[in-house]
Amino acid sequence: MRAVPRTLAGVAALAAVATAGVIYYHGRDPGPEPTAQSERTSSIYNLAGDRVAVETDGQVRISVVTRGATRQVNVARTLQWTGQRHHEESWKDDRLRVSFDCDQDCSAAYVVEVPDGTQVTVNGTPA
């Protein structure tokens, strides 16, 4: 007979702890809502050859513009995101690598300006 009261007491204690956990979880302040942010920047890279390869990962849109005869690649970017973002960009051997991702609602719009006559591929496809 003593086992039943102990079991009931254990169940009651467990229910009390679970209820307290639910109240704590739902009663805490989640903090402010993340706000939308944006950033516009640009870079200039030296071009060694007559080809540029662009590789992207994530929410990245690439536009290619040809202009002039300078041996440079001008890159203008507009990043938009909400919450935490992850952005990486590198230039090596006439190859531009871009990765962009975030918690929610993000995009990266790139304008890549190359000299006239430069062959450009984006993820292996001619631009």
For residue 100, the cross-strand partners are 58, 87
Phi, psi for 24 (deg, rounded to 5): -60, -45
pLDDT digits (tens, 9 = 90+) for 66-121: 998 899 999 999 999 999 999 999 999 999 999 999 988 899 999 999 999 999 99
pLDDT digits (tens, 9 = 90+) for 13-72: 666 666 666 566 666 677 788 899 999 999 999 999 999 999 999 999 999 999 988 999
What is the C-alpha separation between 120 and 88, in angstroms, rounded?
20
Nearest residue to 61 (alpha-carbon basis) of 117, 114, 112, 95: 112
Instruction: Return the amino acid letter for 96.
Output: L
Contact of 99 with 57, CB cutoff 8 Å: yes
What is the C-alpha separation between 37 and 83, in angstroms, rounded?
8
Contact of 57 with 108, CB cutoff 8 Å: no
Instruction: Return the amino acid letter for 108.
Output: A
Q: Which position has the token pair 């254990």?
A: 10
Whether the predicted model's global pTM rises above the 0.85 cut:
no
